[in-house]
Structure 1
Amino acid sequence: MRRRTISIAVVGSGFSGIGLAIALKRAGFEDITIFDGADGPGGVWRDNTYPGAACDAPSHLYSYSFEPKPDWSRRFAEQHEILAYLRHCADKYGLTPHFRFRTTVTDAHFHAATGRWRLHTGDGGVHEYDLFVAACGQLSNPAVPRLPGLDRFAGTAFHSARWNHDHALEGRRVAVVGNGASAVQFVPLIAPAAAHLTIFQREAHWISRKPDRLYPRRRHALNRRLPAVQRLSRLGIFLWFELVLNPALVSPRGRRVLSAPVRLLCRYALRSVRDPRLRRRLTPRYEPGCKRILTSSEYYPALNRPDVAVVDSPIVEITGHGARTADGGRHAFDTLIWATGFRSQDFVAPMRVFGAHRQELNAAWKDGARAYLGLAVTGFPNFFLMYGPNTNVGSGSIVHMLESQAAYIVQAARLLAGGATSMDVRADVLDRFDAAAQERLSTSVWNEGGCDSWYLDADRRNTNNWPGSMTGYRRRTRRLDPTDYHLEH
């Protein structure tokens, strides 16, 4: 039975923050504040509005298990529909009074004397809470390379995650730096408008065709009348990821068995590129899955256009009206779009978090980000992360992982409400978990596949991916073991 009312701060209002707040409310907690510097909920699905933005996990799985949506318009939902879904969830579960939008948390300090966190906001406010959760995500801070001459560029430049909708691309000479998940979605849509499009790729990706399709109205009606149909669809997708794709990434044996079929599937898609020399340049030299396997049925055909060029040589300098590459080539353009992903190791940036001994979190992570189950860090009591280190999935839906984390944090909240004033994960527990995770990751395709990816930090430590299955993570987080923590009452 709860003996005291606790206050809870959540930073971030994407899938993580919304899902956690709903779980906390369903468990009876009401003193919840959700901070976000933007003007509305949605996280990455609010921020990424580039043309063609969509999810590459099937809609029925990329949604909360407790809030199925029977009328998804297509198998792979687009940005506007996912954002509408998140807003629907926030409204339905009564989160509106808990949001504090246009409020950025600049730094947070744990005070051992009170067992509370003191949060400082950009508007000069100071707020105290018993439990503090960073739900900032791994893919929220755009990464822009620091190239020489960038300040001299006379044209318009923006990151795909901060798309400039006021800048018309018609008749422009456009450069896209990067060829990852975002680029393969928007390149086919902007290529017809641009006078010329140059794509600078650092490394080729394995890309398969996207099995997308519209759902007919009769499917929506069937989902409503027989919810079991949608649940079975979700289960089937889940099992495909768990039993087929996940072993191809994590298990050395699974890699050997499934590598050849994945190569064939992706090379079949690559056949739509007519130029054999370009096909060779678009064929990766690393093992499938080392980088995220992309899905698109439109990207390769777009490269057949005479006004589209792919450049392999790295950019060494941005000039006033274009770029110079390492092979001496000069490329003219007046619009520069960064499709360079995110600072995936900055789990709480730009916020600064100071623990029990006044140590800043990034200093604690100077040798690489790590957290017990991706959730708790020694020296930072009453603090949890969502989508923290080593909780990304190489195949599947991150929403499944987030629901597991939310259930675990609810248990932590109950411990604090039951009389504990401080809970700090034991150093030996974190050390054992991290050592086991890194050992298992060492034989995964992400570490051994022969590529550079956002999963690895500068020291090639895998700080992002979970070294197992989604069901394995659910099992590990199902029950919070109090003996894993130093508890004070």
Structure 2
Amino acid sequence: MQPELDVVIVGAGFGGMGAAIELKRQGLDNIAILEREDDLGGTWHVNHYPGLAVDIASVTYSYSFEPNPYWSRLFAPGAELKRYAHHVADKYDLKRHMEFGTLVEAASWDPDDQLWRVRTGDGSERTARYLVTATGFLSQPHVPEFPGIKNFTGTILHTAAWKDGFDFTGKKVAVIGTGATAVQLIPEIAARADSLTVFQRTAIWVVPKIDFAIPAVVQQLFRRIPLTQRAARLVNSSLLELLMVFGVLHFKQVKPGNRLAARLAKAHLRSQIDDPELRRELTPDYDFGCKRPTFSNTYFASFAKPNVTLETSGIARLEADAILAADGTRTEIDTLVLATGFNLWDVNFPAFDIVGRDGRNLGKFWRENRFQAYEGVTVPKFPNLLSLNSPYSYSGLSYFTTIEGQMKHIARLFGELRRRGQHTFEVTEAANDAFLDEVTDRLQSSVFYNGDCSTSRSYYFNQHGEATLLRPASTLRTLREMNSFPLRDYEFS
């Protein structure tokens, strides 16, 4: 049987678009990009809360082959990332492949016809030779079942389902969560609300944000002489690389570097908060890097305002017009903001049901046999599947490092398919096992296993206590390995 499509890509964010660009370069044009939302952009479409911006400098947080010289700031606001996504989709002719409002529920490998059968929420089925999952790492919002939350009669906002134009002026607000999203949002609310209570379970490491508007003359320089923007990207990427490689991945060998980053964050906190008890509550009790740190010049300063209170005792229950803290403190509120993050390991790996050869269910396999993926892309017994948001796939601090590494892997893999005149690939068990052993061994030097991460509640760790999200390698090493993996690691047919 001939499939209807060459490729089904699930997800129209930057990962899915990167895969589509590379596959089109490889001569595959019969592509469907299925997206559950009503527009492209992934994270940058779903999230549009006040204060949203990149937390990696814009010159790095973009495709290296498609630089944007017109970023307004070093850390561009979210709306500019959304416009950049549309620019990429237009330039590389991706929009004609996209279908919005299409929820993929399941996919299964048909061994007889050697194709994937992809079922969507409307009950229809598509067949494709290749399946690419690009559903993102942060695509399934986490909404804890707080006791009494159904009794609350005020407004509830989740950061991933924001109500545009909502006015906090005169409101009594509670924010639950102090992750990277909350760090951006809390200063915006604090500037407007009558009162703001922040419920913190885990403190976050925050370092100064060297942000500024990019002058028009610099934008024109980037446009006219692209080499200057590539140089800026190289400098910024190198600084991020030092933070990731030496501060996180090689914690055992370079502990002073990690300690220096922590001291910088503590000095930043001390410069904005005079109250020693408040500083203590805002200081993480785990090592720097156990949980993704973030950048802000206004987050700590918000807690020095008279209308802002930090609550760290936990939540006992919600009432119709209040939150009762675990220490008995009752806080009257009319607006509840959930900055409670995303569920990675329970429902996001994978984001829908995938069944491969011999009936192997991907989610069940990962949970029962360790989370694993060869080069963070492919899994044994899942022929013709490219899983872009997989264990050990995230490289560096900019997601575009991951995307472009995977594009190189796709180019090498499909180039070999074309050379052989074949259509099916599957990574071998031996290659997968060897890669898993290698990355597990490399991670033993990281802060995750040599530092104190016991209280971090970090999404880097899965439910088994393994740090299986990050690929333990430098950017240069990752890109080199993705472009030169042994072709014998795959079986072709």
**Cα pair 1:288 1:449 within 8 Å, conserved:** no
Shift of 1:226: 1.6
Q: Which residue of 369, 372, 375 maps to 1:373?
A: 375
Shift of 1:220: 1.0
Q: Does 1:398 align with 2:414?
A: no
Output aligned runs, 1:75-90, within 5 Å. Answer: 75-90=74-89
Q: Counterparts of 1:163 and 1:356 in 2: how far apart (Å)? A: 40
- The residue number in structure 2 matching 1:483 is 488
Partner of 2:425: 423
Deviation track 1:102-125 (CA, whole Å, cap 9, x = no partner) reads: 111111110011110011111222
Which residue does 2:294 correspond to in 1? 294
Matches within 5 A, 1:31-430: 31-165=30-164, 167-271=166-270, 272-345=272-345, 346-367=347-368, 368-393=370-395, 395-417=396-418, 418-430=420-432
Checking the alignment, whether the CA contact within 8 Å between 1:184 and 1:299 is kept in structure 2 is: yes
Aligned residue among 427, 435, 438 for 1:436: 438
Q: How many angstroms apart in 1 are the aligned matches of 2:474 and 2:4?
A: 36
Indicate yes or no: 2:463 matched with 1:458: yes
Q: In 1, are the aligned partners of 2:135 and 2:351 still within 8 Å (CA)?
A: no
Write the distance in 1 (CA, Å) between the matches of 2:259 and 2:371: 33
CA distance in 2, matches of 1:433, 1:323: 48
Cα distance in 2 for residues equivalent to 1:254 and 1:322: 49
Q: Deviations over 1:209-268 (max 9, x none)?
A: 100000001101111222111111111112222245421111134541212321221122
In the aligned structure 2, how far is the partner of 1:172 from the partner of 1:252?
Answer: 44
Alpha-carbon displacement from aligned partner over 1:169-203 (angstroms, at most 9, x marks no partner): 22221111111101110111111221211101112
Residues 152 and 5 of structure 1: CA distance in aligned 2, closer, same or farther (over 3 Å): closer
Change (3 A) 1:317 1:465: same
| CA distances 1:117-154 after superposition (whole Å, capped 9, x unpaired) | 01111122211000100001111111111222222222
Q: Is the 8 A contact 1:255 1:445 kept in 2?
A: no
Partners of 2:56 and 2:41 in 1: CA distance? 17
Higher mean C-alpha deviation, range 430-439 or range 33-42: 430-439
How far the C-alpha of 1:477 sits from its partner, in A, is 0.8
CA RMSD of aligned residues (A): 1.9
Is 1:449 matched up with 2:452? yes
Q: Provide the C-alpha distance between the structure 1 equivalents of 2:348 and 2:379, rounded to a whole number of angstroms.
A: 12
Structure 1 413/181 Cα, relative in aligned 2: closer, same or farther at 3 Å?
same
Q: Give the counterpart letter for 1:312 in structure 2.
A: T
Question: Any stretches of 5+ residues in structure 1 without a counterpart?
Answer: none
Q: Give the % identical residues.
A: 36
Q: Which amino acid in structure 1 is aligned with residue 95 of structure 2?
A: T
Task: Give yes or no for contact 1:249–1:255 (8 Å, CA) kept in 2.
Answer: no
Question: Over residues 430-483 of structure 1, what are the superposed CA-to-partner deviations in whole Å (9 max), with x where a residue is unaligned?
Answer: 122112212322331133332321111122111211112111211211035332
TM-score w.r.t. the length of structure 1 is: 0.95
CA contact (8 A) 2:248 2:447 kept: yes
Question: Contact 2:173–2:335 (CA<8 Å) still a contact in 1?
Answer: yes
Q: Could you tell me how far apart the structure 2 residues matched to 1:397 and 1:302 are?
A: 27
Tell me if structure 2 keeps the 8 A contact 1:12–1:136.
yes
Question: How many Å apart are 1:18 and its aligned residue?
Answer: 0.9
Cα distance between partner residues in 2 of 1:391 and 1:255:
24
Deviations 1:266-305 (A, max 9, x none): 1221121122210111111211111111110011111111
Deviation of 1:157 (Å): 1.4
SS of equivalent to 2:445: coil
**Cα shift at 1:359:** 2.5
Q: Which amino acid aligns with 2:70?
A: D
Paired letter, 1:248: G
Give the whole-Å Cα distance in 2 for the aligned partners of 1:157 and 1:108: 34
1:109–1:61 CA distance, 2 compared to 1 (3 A): same
TM-score normalized by the length of structure 2: 0.94
Which region of structure 1 is more displaced relative to structure 2, 476-485 or 99-108?
A: 476-485
Describe the superposition over 1:74-112 as per-residue Cα deviations: whole angstroms up to 9, x where unpaired.
101110001100100000111121111111111111001
Does the 8 Å contact 2:417/2:492 carry over to 1?
A: no
Give secondary structure in 2 for the equivalent of 1:175. strand
3-state SS, counterpart of residue 358 of structure 2? coil
CA distance in 2, matches of 1:161, 1:318: 21
Instruction: For 2:111 and 2:119, locate their aligned partners in 1 and report how far apart those are by CA, in whole Å.
Output: 17
- The offset of 1:348, in angstroms, is 4.9
The question of whether the paired residues in 2 share the 8 Å contact of 1:9 and 1:35 is answered with: yes
Q: What amino acid is aligned across from residue 315 of structure 2 in structure 1?
A: I
What's the offset of the Cα at 1:415? Answer: 4.3
Local SS of the residue matching 2:59: coil
Q: Distance in 2 between matches of 1:249 and 1:467?
A: 9
Q: Which moved more, 1:151-160 or 1:176-185?
A: 151-160
- Amino acid paired to 1:406: M
Cα–Cα, structure 1 residues 304 and 438, in superposed 2: closer, same or farther, change >3 Å?
A: same
